[in-house]
A and B are shown apart, each in its own frame.
Chain A
Amino acid sequence: MKKNYTQASRRRDRLAELLIRICGLFVIVAVVWILVMITRVALPLFYSPKATSIASISLPVELKQSRLLSIGIDETQQELFSLDGKGLVHFIDTRGGTLKESVPVPDPPPGARTVVSAELVSKSLYNLLWDTGVVSSVKIAFSSTRSESGNTIVSHEVSADPEGFFPGSGAFKRSFVRTIEGKGAVRVDQLESDRIRVTWRSKETDLFGNEKATTSSSEIQDPLPAAITAVVLDHAGHYLYAGTRNGQLMRWDISEPGEIRLLDSTAVTGNSPVTALNLVLGDISVAVGDGKGGYTAWFPVTAAGSGEGKQLVRTHVLRPHTGTVSAILPSPRDKSLVSVNDQGVIHIDHVTSERNLLTLKGAKPVAMLALSAQGNSLCSLDTAGNFAVWRLEIPHPEVSLGTLFGKVWYEGYDRPEYVWQSSAANDDFEPKMSLVPLIFGTLKATAFAMLFAVPLALLGALYTSQFMAPRLKSRIKPAVEIMAAIPSVVVGFLAGLWLAPLIDKVVLAFFLSFIIIPVMLLVTIFFWRLIKTASPLERRLRGKEFIVLIPIVLVGTWLAYLLGGIVEVQVFGGDFKQWLYSVLGIRYDQRNSMIIAVALGFAVIPLIFTIAEDALSNVPRNLTAASLALGASRWQTAWRVVLPSALPGVFSAVMIGFGRAVGETMIVLMATGNTPIMSGSIFNGLRSLSANIAVEIPEASLNGSLYRVLFLSAVLLFIFTFIINTVAEALRQRFRRKYGRY
């Protein structure tokens, strides 16, 4: 023998063994890796937000004496600015705390010398109220560019916004100006006397293109319950909110020039003064902070039984502060709020999810707060004249276990609900990501499909394994296996574009067939007994009974079709769906749960059938022989001997079918309208977890909240099917061990 060759083949053997073992291991690694991978993407949803302190600097000496009105910060935490009463914007380097440049506000109104107050209107636009009573607007913007060497260079720009100019005279506590696109502007002044005056300037263009401006003004006449402590006006200039010392929140509609309508006057804090008031991004919710630290959000809701009118309702309670809430600042990016109390404790909360995202503690009470335009830098100026700058990392403020699985009260809704609506056309839209309607849809689709599939598949399997002639069985089984290979996209297509319109036309016939076909079968069974006496026919058909039944099923379907037409005309006035809607108030969707039941059921039948049939066939023949020899009929044998023995296998078949139905995507995608509604009606559509992933993931931006939530739903699907499959496999293994056959 060749020694070298033997040596070589021995080496090869060892190498192969190693490789093969690695490969085997790799299977486990692959499965675990899939889970780890998708979980890793989903997990950051639940990471706690982070605030990194970037700088803590004191006010440059040049500014120590200035009266500061407002501050701001750039995206990269490199530069901040402060606006003083002389109308100078001072840009300060956060790294050294040095004053870089002081820029005067361009085009100050003639005669005006000092700025009384500054109000942040939107991202970088400020309303300045001058000592003459004139309001002007200024834009203080940062922009950053990447240099050749990779550093970020921040530049700033201060520009006037002539649109925001609104003349006026007198002394005011605060003034707000809102320009209304193409229509003019509205100005709200809080007078020294605490009264509120609204001034409208409307611009009209006549047929010849000449502009005509009219100005009108009126004061709020409604009696105020107490002194006004906070005022806020929305961006569109439609609604004006004011909080009072005794805790009332008032809301006026000022959208029509010359008309001021009081909409609400609600006690919001329980007698404690409203100390901070601001609108959440989107201008629907208003956040209220009170003197005792209470911190809530309100928006108008159609009150039960009150008809058209909407009332402010407390929709969210945020984590309370320990002392008076002194300021609330909305995030320019989402429904988050930054708030601070009189001790300098800063809270960052998300209104909708009611999550307290961050709590930052400063040493001194905070005088001013600012967020950058993208909301990821936070800057505070304390009463001692120290700036603190943080970088915020809050990737998914709107997601929490509560919003994913609980009811959430979204803006515009009348009550807390489970909603899935991930995107819409407008910018300040809030994604609503509750997984509950999707889980409900998944389970509903699965339940209906199983209801349809399990009896058919199991009875069919019982027949095939126990009663069918062996020669026929060897043909039918492969046929069902081929049926299992029919791609789900084909089933889905037919369900959506063939079956759904068909059933749409013959809904009644569809229901009637569930009665007529069994009745026809009963009749056949009755006559079968008469045929049985004609022994040659009976013998020839033994094990092939189902062939006789195929025409019966077809005839039954046809009869149901005929009867359906008649019943629809006679009983339901010719249109069953119309009747359904007008009498029972049930809406009929063309792609509804019945279609899903049939289509998804059709897809899982072969799977359940094959596994159940295997289990039933694997019950040793000698068991059945023993039973038959004792004089049991073939049904008694199948029912009392075979079925109990094969029960674990049959059960695992159902489980595996269930797992498949839960995860099936294309059929559900194509055969339903994909509406994420929670309705138990069989006439409505649904949206399942898996179809939802397929629909939404092409739109989801990498590592965004939606992207991660979709990964989370994939994790849920994985874990769910993992459990089902493992249990089913364990059952099947036990069954195999019991009968020792593979």
Chain B
Amino acid sequence: MTVPTHNPASPILTVKDLDLFYGAKQALKKINISMQRNQVTAFIGPSGCGKSTLLRCFNRMNDLIDNVRVEGSISFEDQEIYAASTDVITLRRRIGMVFQQSNPFPKSIYENIVYGLRIAGVNDKSLLDETVERSLRSAAIWDEVKDRLHDSALGLSGGQAQRICIARAIAVNPEIILMDEPCSALDPISTLKIEELIDELKRKYTIIIVTHNMQQAARVSDVTGFFYLGELIEAGPTRKIFTNPEKTQTEDYITGRFG
């Protein structure tokens, strides 16, 4: 299945015939999809459908799990993500990630933001300061935390912590930001803030978001893919998926008949 794209010239991520196995169990089956620059792509589907698994393929977070076998190809621009020559560390710097549970390190807010830079060997104080302010502003949390940058990040509320995590991801200037259900643990107000932020961020970054909240997908994304039992059932412009899906399964899910 091919996906109609707005700009066929340069998809930033292309997934071709991707199969993924956990041991003997196949978690992803023949996935084909491509993502465009500066767009928000949302993956939706019921729990356990493989959407998070796919997302974790993009920055090879699945490497951390034993017994995972990947077949097929994912190319990031011209580079094959699962090629042996691919350097995972550089890849992860270019493809950032925000997790379902906010995971600030038990360090100060400042140190959380500059963590990515420090591990890359940047220790220039002025550069770090500048990055902190820029990232926190981009994540729309600068005003809330600017007076307590050196306080522990563990003292923040859930929504704030999640935005700190987004700021931390932005700080290393990635090209793509992967978001794995970033709002699932948050209250509606915080969720709203994050959604606004996503809208803001897509000007600079390509965003791929996994969500089980269909309204959220409808609100923030440009393209939506619907997953079911490890298969990509349908993908296309969000409006089309939500108003006129091609597959009945998609329709059933969206209209709330199952899932």
Contacts and interface: CB of A to CB of B under 8 A. Distances in A.
B256 interface: no
Contacts of A1: 93, 120-122, 172
Nearest to B87: A10
B89 A4 contact: no
Contact of A10 (B89, B93, B122, B172): B89
B122 A2 contact: yes
A9 interface: yes
Contacts of A2: 120-122
A8 B120 CA distance: 10
Interface in B122-172: 122, 172
Nearest to B119: A9
Interface string A1-32: 11011101110000000000000000000000
A234 to B, nearest CB: 77
Nearest to B172: A1
A344 to B, nearest CB: 71
Contacts of B90: 6
A32 to B, nearest CB: 26
A4 B120 CA distance: 9
A9 B118 CA distance: 11
Contacts of A6: 89-90, 120-121
Most chain A CB inside 10 Å of its own CB: which residue of B89, B90, B93, B121: B121
Interface in B40-92: 87, 89-90
Chain A residues touching B, range: under 10
B89 A5 contact: no
Contacts of B120: 1-2, 5-6
A2 B89 CA distance: 13
B91 to A, nearest CB: 12
Nearest to B173: A1
A350 B119 CA distance: 73
Interface in A594-627: none
Contacts, number: 20
A563 to B, nearest CB: 61
A693 to B, nearest CB: 43
A2 B123 CA distance: 10
A1 B120 CA distance: 6
A600 B119 CA distance: 53
A15 to B, nearest CB: 15
Contacts of A5: 120-121
Nearest to A6: B120
B173 to A, nearest CB: 9
Nearest to A4: B121
B161 to A, nearest CB: 25
A470 B90 CA distance: 50
B113 to A, nearest CB: 16
Interface string A355-372: 000000000000000000
B121 to A, nearest CB: 3
Interface string A638-665: 0000000000000000000000000000
A489 to B, nearest CB: 40
A10 B91 CA distance: 14
B89 to A, nearest CB: 7
Nearest to B120: A1
Interface string A380-396: 00000000000000000
Nearest to A10: B89
A5 to B, nearest CB: 3
Nearest to B118: A5
A632 B122 CA distance: 64
Contact of A9 (B87, B93, B121, B122): B121
A24 to B, nearest CB: 16
Interface string B23-43: 000000000000000000000
A8 B119 CA distance: 11
A326 to B, nearest CB: 75
Contacts of B119: 9
A24 B172 CA distance: 34
B92 to A, nearest CB: 12
Contacts of A4: 121
Interface in A453-504: none
Nearest to B116: A1
A6 B87 CA distance: 11
Nearest to A2: B121
Contacts of B172: 1
A552 B90 CA distance: 70
Most chain B CB inside 10 Å of its own CB: which residue of A1, A5, A6, A10: A1
B130 to A, nearest CB: 15
A5 B119 CA distance: 9
A2 to B, nearest CB: 4
Contacts of B93: 1
Contacts of B121: 1-2, 4-6, 8-9
A13 to B, nearest CB: 9
A5 B118 CA distance: 10
A9 B90 CA distance: 12
B171 to A, nearest CB: 12
A12 to B, nearest CB: 11
A9 to B, nearest CB: 7
A4 B122 CA distance: 11
A8 B89 CA distance: 13
A9 B121 CA distance: 9
A10 B89 CA distance: 9
A8 B121 CA distance: 10
B175 to A, nearest CB: 14
A21 to B, nearest CB: 15
A318 B89 CA distance: 77
A340 B70 CA distance: 79
B163 to A, nearest CB: 24
A1 B122 CA distance: 7
Contacts of B87: 10
Contacts of B122: 1-2
A270 B122 CA distance: 100
Most chain B CB inside 10 Å of its own CB: which residue of A4, A6, A9, A10: A6
Nearest to A5: B121
A1 B89 CA distance: 12
Nearest to B88: A10
A6 B119 CA distance: 8
A1 B172 CA distance: 9
A2 B119 CA distance: 10
A5 B90 CA distance: 12
A665 B90 CA distance: 57
A9 B120 CA distance: 8
Nearest to B122: A2
A123 to B, nearest CB: 71
A2 B122 CA distance: 7
Contacts of A9: 119, 121
Most chain A CB inside 10 Å of its own CB: which residue of B93, B120, B122: B120
A1 B171 CA distance: 12
Contacts of A8: 121
Contacts of A10: 87, 89
A9 B89 CA distance: 10
B71 to A, nearest CB: 27
Nearest to A1: B120
A2 B93 CA distance: 12
A340 B126 CA distance: 98
Nearest to B121: A5
20 contacts: A1-B93, A1-B120, A1-B121, A1-B122, A1-B172, A2-B120, A2-B121, A2-B122, A4-B121, A5-B120, A5-B121, A6-B89, A6-B90, A6-B120, A6-B121, A8-B121, A9-B119, A9-B121, A10-B87, A10-B89
Interface of A: 1-2, 4-6, 8-10
Interface of B: 87, 89-90, 93, 119-122, 172
Given A1-B121, A2-B121, A6-B120, 13 more contacts: A1-B93, A1-B120, A1-B122, A2-B122, A4-B121, A5-B120, A5-B121, A6-B90, A6-B121, A9-B119, A9-B121, A10-B87, A10-B89
- Top 7 A-B residue pairs of the complex, sorted by shortest distance between their CB atoms: A5-B121, A2-B121, A1-B120, A6-B120, A2-B120, A5-B120, A10-B89
